[in-house]
Copies of this chain bind each other. A is one copy, B any other.
């Protein structure tokens, strides 16, 4: 079963707003076993809507349009659908009553513009909109369903959850779709691909693999489609088990919303251990990542952003001589910073970063992009040197993720 999502509205095409409606609809459709064949964003224009409807017809069983149902003049979806289905508009008294009631609640006058919203094509089943005035519309002809929804996100979502998804499940015989995401850190797409090549080639043809790269991380997504839920689950779990034997060193977790910060939080909470951070070039970014996780106050004590060298001495007990001897961008200083904050804040672990994020080299002779990361554990302190290139944001982002990656490995050892 395939669907196409058509988003109507010039504001997307001029890059003014991000089309988050389509993402949400696609996710919900996939959950009930409907694949999304295509997402199309088009202009608020009759000819363009007709063209998109015709193109969608050949490939999709379900077409969902959003946008263009409001009371103002540039919203023409309803009239275009009436033409497309060779239909005419009829006043729906139930909708008139609904809009009048909504307006009475907030003391709004009921105008002719609003009455027009209660006009619907005679061939459609109107879908009641409890969150706004424009009804949704459901057309069912020749085994194809065309649905029109308002573009306002909470109205669209309400209509999808209350009417559209249940009606789709009733109308079509849907296959079962199962997704499993494996989150990895610390290795690029092509190196991972080489390591898992044999495993990938041996996947059964009802399981598809996708590589989803991000800064410093790579998600592997398996999708299985079929009629027997239990069988799919069993098989996909077996494939994941096999994969874990091949790349156990880089797998962080399996939840789509899981990140390395979440994984570290779970580990530290379990072990009742704590963390402090001394940041120089990462400027507070690691602390921000850690504290974005709800419940981080259980294990995160605090941090010092020692941007100026004298703060490293004042707060972290890094001696002036050490800085002068090695320069501030050095493994020795990174280790001293980690030791300093671990001791002062009395934590199980500490992270420290010092480097040159660019664009200029400032006070040291170290190349832009050079970062030293130190980790202090209950038993040892060590540091590593990295080169993260440019620009500035990328250096900060990659250094932060690398530091968390090093920390996680140490926590797993202890």
Number of interface residues of A (CB under 8 A): 104
List residues 1-29 of chain A with CB under 8 A from any CB of chain B.
10-20, 22-29
Number of chain copies forming the complex? 2
Nearest residue, chain B, Cβ from A11: B212
Instruction: In the complex, identify which listed stretch (A226-234, A247-255, A284-292) lies at the interface while the others stay far away.
Output: A284-292
Per the bound structure, the CA–CA distance linking A114 and B344 in Å amounts to 47
User: Quick one: CB contact mask for A141-170 with B, threshold 8 Å, 1 for yes?
Assistant: 000000000001010000000000000000
Per the bound structure, the CA–CA distance linking A42 and B41 in Å amounts to 12
B13 in contact with A38 (CB, 8 Å) = yes
Per the bound structure, the CA–CA distance linking A111 and B296 in Å amounts to 41
Per the bound structure, the CA–CA distance linking A45 and B35 in Å amounts to 14
User: Contacts A40-B39, A302-B311 known; A23 to B28 CB distance under 8 Å?
Assistant: no
User: Quick one: CB contact mask for A353-385 with B, threshold 8 Å, 1 for yes?
Assistant: 000001110100000000000000000000000
Q: Is A213 an interface residue (CB 8 A)?
A: yes
A392 in contact with B304 (CB, 8 Å) = no
Q: Is A221 an interface residue (CB 8 A)?
A: yes
A15 in contact with B26 (CB, 8 Å) = yes
A345 in contact with B394 (CB, 8 Å) = no
* Most B-side CB within 10 Å, residue of A152, A223, A308: A308
List residues 39-60 of chain A with CB under 8 A from any CB of chain B.
39-44, 48, 52, 55
A257–chain B nearest beta-carbon distance, Å:
11
B292 in contact with A393 (CB, 8 Å) = yes
Nearest residue, chain B, Cβ from A188: B108
User: Contacts A15-B26, A30-B15 known; A307 to B297 CB distance under 8 Å?
Assistant: yes
Per the bound structure, the CA–CA distance linking A277 and B306 in Å amounts to 11
Instruction: In the complex, identify which listed stretch (A68-76, A77-85, A263-271) lies at the interface while the others stay far away.
Output: A68-76
Q: Is A190 an interface residue (CB 8 A)?
A: yes
Q: What are 5 A-B contacts with C-beta separation under 8 Å?
A: A12-B26, A13-B37, A14-B35, A15-B26, A16-B27
